Amino acid sequence: MGAVGIAVSAVLVTLAGCQSTAMPISAVSAPAGTSTEVYRWRSVGPREFAEIITEPGRVTMNVHIPYEGDIAGTDLSMPFDQIQARSDALPQERATPVAVYCRSGRMSQVAAITLTAMGYRDIVELAGGTVAWEGSGRTLVWR
């Protein structure tokens, strides 16, 4: 298991033991041998997420399994637990801004941690997921 896999596994074990829905970690060190810089991800509410996903060049990812609808404009659907294994489908440039979401926010938090550990530097996660999105009066689209 590589450095990224170990870092992600450690975070998943930490998450499994947490009782609250709050994410205790928002910064992860870059994988060994890539940089000493600390990369961060942000968790934002539906209003800000709606603005962010319209930014030119930002890739919006639905990481929820099973499929339960998309936010309009979603570029990529990939299960949160397959991100590392399917990295060839991700933007190769690690500076590419990425927005992730799921149904409740838990899977997208894990996805944000995984992407951060892989070296992506601009990651935004939808706090509360599509439940919060719909709760704010926004809709989902279905394929």
> What's the rounded Cα separation, in Å, for the pair 118 and 30?
7
* pLDDT (average), residues 40-44: 93
The predicted pLDDT at position 40 comes to: 83
The domain tally of the chain equals 1
* pLDDT (average), residues 86-107: 97
* pLDDT (average), residues 4-27: 41
The predicted pLDDT at position 2 comes to: 55
Q: Does some domain include residue 125?
A: yes
Q: Does some domain include residue 140?
A: no
Q: Does some domain include residue 67?
A: yes
Q: What is the pTM of this model?
A: 0.76
Q: Which residue would you say has higher pLDDT here, 121 or 6?
A: 121
CATH (domain of 20): 3.40.250.10
> What's the rounded Cα separation, in Å, for the pair 52 and 18?
29
- Owning domain of residue 83: 3-135
Q: Does some domain include residue 143?
A: no
How, if at all, do strands 59-62 and 123-126 pair? unpaired
The predicted pLDDT at position 24 comes to: 36
Q: Does some domain include residue 142?
A: no
